[in-house]
Amino acid sequence: MARPGGLIAAAAISRYSPLLDHIATTGITEAAIQDGVRDILAQGRYAGQRGFTVAYFQTSAELRAEVTEAGLTDPTLYGIEGPGWVAVKAIEKYTSANLMGTDMYEAALSAARIADPHAALTDASAHILAITGPCPV
């Protein structure tokens, strides 16, 4: 329970992150992976096969609705990684590069900041953060 006017944060896994993650790391040519990704895109549910936990993947609109239904007003949503995370993850997967502090990492960080006010790009992040109340950032 928060004090009136207090900060509340809720995090979610983006509905589109499995598709983007498979593109970046494992490919998406295997029929079973394609079927699993299609199911997540359609329903948001993941049953826990293939080593990841049972989970529900949300769109930013669903997270906003859930936060609002809980009685919290005017949530601000952020794409935590921004749309550049896919490129960074792919480069790290297929090379031995650690991109922290590099131009590519800085470009991804800049892209995340640029994407923040554009709601359509929030879902391109792997994770979404909803904040209500005064944001300390």
Confidence of residue 1 (pLDDT cuts 50, 70, 90): low
Q: Is pLDDT at 44 greater than 90 in this prediction? A: yes
Q: Is pLDDT at 6 greater than 90 in this prediction? A: no
Q: What is the pLDDT of residues 50-82, one digit of tens each?
A: 778 899 999 999 999 999 998 888 899 999 999
Name the pTM for this structure. 0.85
pLDDT at 98: 75
- Please state the domain extents for the chain: 9-132
Q: What is the pLDDT of residues 16-29, one digit of tens each?
A: 999 999 999 888 88
Helix (H, G, I), strand (E, B) or coil at 129: strand
Eight-class DSSP state of 134: -
Phi, psi of 91 (to 5 degrees): -65, -45
Contact 46, 40 (CB under 8 A): yes
